Amino acid sequence: MTGQPQAAVPASLGLSEPAQTSVVVALLPLKAAVLVAFLVIGLAFPVVPLHVRDGLGFGPVVVGVVAGCQFAASLIARIWSGHAADARGAKWAVVAGLIRATVLGLLYLSLLAFVGRPEVSVAVLLAGRALLGAAESFVITGATAWGLTRVGAANAGKVIAWMGTAMFAGFAAGAPLGSLLYAGGGFASVAAVTSVARLLTLALLWPLRGSVAAAVARPRIASVIGRIWLPGLGAALSSVGFGAILAFGSLLFVEHGWTPVWLAFSTYAIALMVARLLFGHLPDRLGGAKVAVGFVVVEAAGLATMWLAASGGLAAFGAALTGFGYSLVFPGLGLEAVRLAPPESRGVAMGAYTACLDLALGIAGPALGLVASGAGYSAVFEVSAIVVLCAALVSIPLLTKRAPRAQAT
């Protein structure tokens, strides 16, 4: 898939690439960097819940808290990372995030010193996950803002979709790899790969020319948030399904004796990537809100399938259907956020928009943990399906909502 040639844009927006550069070529190095960065994050997805439950002996509520704290920290860092991308350049934000994330591997290694003290071990794990959340915020917000400066806002839907595709490709590859590393060398092997891969990602990004920070007056952060809160709310509701699979997908498989336990992660991510490869152009062509309303129904159907699944194969199909549906909900509503935001504050807008995802995941982890404690892991996906359907209702007003004129305040 290639984009249309972009018209020249003001230097104040930081665009430095030739106007005829295709979208795919311009975004390729950023997609590669995001892929490597999130592959490392994906290593821990199936491992951490099992480590907290089986290695440390905690229940599903603590599992949900550990899973959710990463996204709570990322939520706090979103606006900060978006402001940094606008003020200091998107490349600076991405590199800063990767450097912070390198420290995570050292924290993971330190867990080995507290194997006999589960309370201390889970506290260190919480700190590490919080650090990861903040670092991830800088990487994905910076990469998205960087992509927008390279190909222009007319391709905003493609930028968001492609960055997300690279992210979920990392998740898909990281989940089985993390399971293999954990089975072969325990948490130490996961920690070692986490540190080394960050350094490789930095080496990949270093030669790239960064975007120039825009030297213009910017609207206040509160003003930007006020413009994009509606698509942000839709993104938050639709992201609960992702949170359910992230925190409880492997435990659902373990509860029913289905194998492999990482299958829900990978089928979800693979279906999401396939959908974006085939249909990633639809938000830019048909409108973000229109696409989001349709695809969110598919996502909810996938979660309902996981709730009712009687076999691992059917549960994996439900996870794939969930990923297929969510694939264009997030970029579709993200396109609406870009459309409503002032051009000079797109970093802040993307930070605020993706913060809605983190807010949803930070709340969903512990909340769904309570559901699992009272009604079992299957009920988690029933509740998630109902919440996700609400995103369709939120998205409908965006079908006619007009973007206000951008002006500094």
Q: How far is CA 99 from CA 96, 136, 143, in A?
A: 5, 11, 15
pLDDT in tens, 114-148: 666 777 778 877 877 777 777 777 888 888 888 87
Closest CA to 52 of 402, 282, 344, 369: 369
Amino acid identity of residue 262, one-letter, is W
Query: How high is the pLDDT of residue 210?
Result: 59
Q: Confidence band (pLDDT; 50, 70, 90) for 325?
A: very high
Domain that holds residue 203: 20-399
pLDDT in tens, 92-117: 888 888 777 777 666 666 665 666 67
Name the packing angle between helices 312-340 and 263-279 (round to 10°): 50
Query: How high is the pLDDT of residue 17?
Result: 39
How many CB atoms within 10 Å of residue 178? 26
Which tokens belong to 5?
């040639």
Domain presence at residue 301: yes
Domain presence at residue 382: yes
Closest CA to 280 of 159, 165, 161: 161
ω before 260 within 30° of 0 (cis)?
A: yes
The answer to whether the Cα torsion of 191, 197, 203, 209 is positive or negative is negative
pLDDT in tens, 169-199: 777 677 778 778 877 776 667 777 776 777 7
pLDDT, averaged across the chain? 77
Domain presence at residue 218: yes
Domain harbouring 291, CATH code: 1.20.1250.20
Domain presence at residue 15: no
All residues at 6 or more sequence positions from 328 whose CB lies less than 8 Å from its CB, including other chains: 161, 275, 276, 279, 280, 282, 283, 291, 292, 295
All residues at 6 or more sequence positions from 298 whose CB lies less than 8 Å from its CB, including other chains: 321, 324, 325
pLDDT in tens, 205-262: 777 665 555 545 555 667 777 778 889 899 999 999 988 998 888 889 988 999 888 8
Domain presence at residue 355: yes
Mean pLDDT, residues 358-385: 87
Domain presence at residue 405: no
Residue 8 scores a pLDDT above 70: no
pLDDT in tens, 273-287: 889 888 888 888 888
Domain presence at residue 404: no
Which tokens belong to 219?
């609207």
Which tokens belong to 231?
């698509």
Domain presence at residue 191: yes
Query: How high is the pLDDT of residue 10?
Result: 33
pLDDT in tens, 301-321: 999 999 999 999 999 999 999
- Write the DSSP assignment of 34-99 as a string of letters: HHHHHHHHHHHTTHHHHIIIIIS---HHHHHHHHHHHHHHHHHHHHHHHHHHHHH-HHHHHHHHHH
Domain count, the chain: 1
